[in-house]
């Protein structure tokens, strides 16, 4: 999990904070209750980075995920709209 934080999460959060010119911009990570997500070291690392963590209860992750159409609309079209504005 440490590699995920260092290689993916931290660069992404940093880029968003730079884009919004707010180094204290809060971040939220939503995880399932996998044991590696609940370790003290993982949670304290996120806390040090200013990332809040929320756990989806066991058996509820299937209800949380978006359909592919919703995901495409929210993520891809949003980025396309931002690109076309410039």
The answer on 40 and 19 residing in a single domain is: yes
The answer on 46 and 9 residing in a single domain is: yes
The answer on 17 and 51 residing in a single domain is: yes
Q: How far apart are CA 86 and CA 72, in angstroms?
A: 21
Model pTM? 0.64
Give Cα 10 distance to the centre of its chain: 10
The tally of domains found in the chain comes to: 2
Q: How far apart are CA 86 and CA 77, in angstroms?
A: 15
The answer on 27 and 9 residing in a single domain is: yes
Find out whether 55 and 31 touch, Cβ atoms under 8 Å: yes
The answer on 39 and 22 residing in a single domain is: yes
pLDDT tens digits for range 13-31 = 999 999 989 888 888 888 8
Domain ranges, residue 73:
60-86
pLDDT tens digits for range 64-82 = 666 656 666 666 666 666 7
Residue environment code for 39-69, b if the CB has 16+ CB neighbours within 10 A, otherwise e: eeebeebbeeeebeeeeeeeeeeeeeeeeee
The answer on 83 and 43 residing in a single domain is: no
The answer on 72 and 44 residing in a single domain is: no
């Amino acid at each position: 999990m440490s590699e995920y934080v260092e290689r993916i999460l931290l660069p992404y959060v940093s880029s968003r904070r730079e884009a919004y010119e707010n180094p204290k911009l809060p971040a939220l990570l939503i995880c399932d209750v996998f044991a590696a997500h609940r370790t003290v070291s993982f949670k304290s690392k996120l806390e040090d980075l200013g990332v809040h963590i929320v756990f989806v209860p066991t058996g509820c992750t299937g209800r949380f995920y978006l359909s592919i159409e919703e995901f495409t609309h929210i993520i891809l079209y949003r980025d396309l709209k931002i690109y076309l504005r410039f």
